[in-house]
């Protein structure tokens, strides 16, 4: 026989049934609200999505309080000018290597963006305070020996740094005016040896020595290239002996490919030859001894009964075959 519940018990029974249905459906509701395992954001800053429940998440009428913002249904009020997920229009997401600027997705020259201490030059983030290629900005570079220090090209000597004035060059000792610096006359490192420098050339009495030449006689204005001058070879007071050398090469008296031939022990005006240390002369094949087999000249041997002896000449010793006393 069917039992009839009192009318007062009906609400309690309905609530009990509703509770059992809600408990059984709870796992499905939780699964529906949880994100899938592979549903991950593509950026470090995830997209913010709001469940409005059918109502607008902006203003009552879908408006935004700021005139520069736009109401997008899933995220609310956004700035379409620079929003990565709503660039130019709602739900227009920029690619991973793109940025949003003025409502347009674009690939920047440097990605990711450079930090606040750097600038983007040629696709690389550089420090404009110390980068020699991009010093101060992307348009300026420092040519050696200048270095970029504090965003400016400076002349660094190791002991300090200076900014050269217009018309100065950066030399090893610092900034120098090559037009009048006697230690850097015409070029860095070209010293005038105590003489003045005028218009980039060392003064030598009444004349001006060309760049690379030394003043060997200031009263007469004698300039010489110490690297090749036979009369001033390596030094103003060094003269190559024409009998023992063929030229001055890089400041050294040479007999063809050999150094200047030895003078032996013959000294003017005594001019006495020593058989232990005979003099040499420069011949076509190189240095040869001055002896009986080559006395007055290269290959000129003494005839029978004579021997090579030295005698005083006008300014030096001369050699000839003589009959021994």
What is the SS3 string spanning 163-222? CCCCCCEEECCEEECCCCCCCCCCCCCCCCCCCCEECCEEEECCEEECCCCEEEECCCCE
Q: What is the mean pLDDT of residues 168-183?
A: 91
Q: What is the mean pLDDT of residues 168-179?
A: 91
pLDDT confidence bin for 151, thresholds 50/70/90: very high
Least confident of 31-35, 128-132, 292-296: 31-35
Sequence ranges of the domains in the chain:
52-107, 119-163, 179-222, 225-260, 262-325
Cβ within 8 Å of residue 140, ≥6 positions away: 134, 153
**What per-residue confidence (pLDDT) applies to 45?**
54
pLDDT confidence bin for 44, thresholds 50/70/90: low
Cα-based angle 113, 115, 121 (whole degrees, multiple of 5): 65
In this predicted structure, the answer to whether residue 233 has a pLDDT above a threshold of 70 is yes
In this predicted structure, the answer to whether residue 229 has a pLDDT above a threshold of 70 is yes
Query: The tokens of 306 are what?
Result: 């004579």
In this predicted structure, the answer to whether residue 50 has a pLDDT above a threshold of 70 is no
**What per-residue confidence (pLDDT) applies to 58?**
84
pLDDT confidence bin for 226, thresholds 50/70/90: very high
CA distances from residue 143 to 128, 146, 147, 157, 171 in whole angstroms, order as listed: 15, 6, 7, 15, 12
Secondary structure letter of residue 291 according to DSSP: B
In this predicted structure, the answer to whether residue 12 has a pLDDT above a threshold of 70 is no
**Better pLDDT: 274 or 10:** 274
Residues 204, 178 contacting (CB under 8 angstroms): no
Cβ within 8 Å of residue 78, ≥6 positions away: 69, 70, 72, 85, 86, 90
Burial class of residue 161 in the structure, from the number of CB atoms within 10 Å of its CB (0-12 exposed, 13-18 middle, 19+ buried) = middle
Cβ within 8 Å of residue 154, ≥6 positions away: 142, 146, 147, 148, 161, 162, 163
**What per-residue confidence (pLDDT) applies to 282?**
96
**What per-residue confidence (pLDDT) applies to 52?**
43
Q: What is the mean pLDDT of residues 69-88?
A: 90
**Better pLDDT: 33 or 102:** 102
* Whole-number average pLDDT of the chain: 80
d(CA 50, CA 187): 73
Q: What is the mean pLDDT of residues 184-190?
A: 89
Cα-based angle 24, 29, 34 (whole degrees, multiple of 5): 140
């Amino acid at each position: 026989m069917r039992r009839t519940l009192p009318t007062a018990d009906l609400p309690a029974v309905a609530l009990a049934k509703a509770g059992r249905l809600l408990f059984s459906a709870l796992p499905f509701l939780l699964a529906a609200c949880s994100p899938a395992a592979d549903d991950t954001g593509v950026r470090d800053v995830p997209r913010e999505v709001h469940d409005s429940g059918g109502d607008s998440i902006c203003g009552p009428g879908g408006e935004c309080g700021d005139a520069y913002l736009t109401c997008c249904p899933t995220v609310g009020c956004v700035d379409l000018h620079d929003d990565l997920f709503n660039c130019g229009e709602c739900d227009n997401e920029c690619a991973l290597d793109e940025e949003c600027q003025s409502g347009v997705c674009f690939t920047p020259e440097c990605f990711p963006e450079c930090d606040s201490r750097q600038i983007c030059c040629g696709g690389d983030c550089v420090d404009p305070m110390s980068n020699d290629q991009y010093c101060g900005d992307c348009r300026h570079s420092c040519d050696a020996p200048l270095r970029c220090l504090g965003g400016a090209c400076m002349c660094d000597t190791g002991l300090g740094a200076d900014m050269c004035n217009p018309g100065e060059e950066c030399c090893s000792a610092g900034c120098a005016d090559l037009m009048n610096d006697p230690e850097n006359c015409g070029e860095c490192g070209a010293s005038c040896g105590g003489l003045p420098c005028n218009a980039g050339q060392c003064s030598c009495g009444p004349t001006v020595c060309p760049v690379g030449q030394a003043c060997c006689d200031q009263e007469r204005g004698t300039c010489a290239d110490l690297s090749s001058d036979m009369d001033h070879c390596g030094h103003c007071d060094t003269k190559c002996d024409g009998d023992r050398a063929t030229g001055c090469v890089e400041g050294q008296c040479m007999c063809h490919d050999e150094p200047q031939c030895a003078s032996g022990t013959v000294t003017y005006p005594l001019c006495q030859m020593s058989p232990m240390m005979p003099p040499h002369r420069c011949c076509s094949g190189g240095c040869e001894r001055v002896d009986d087999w080559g006395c007055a000249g290269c290959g000129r041997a003494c005839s029978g009964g004579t021997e090579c002896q030295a005698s005083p000449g006008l300014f030096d010793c001369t050699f000839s075959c003589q009959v021994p006393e």
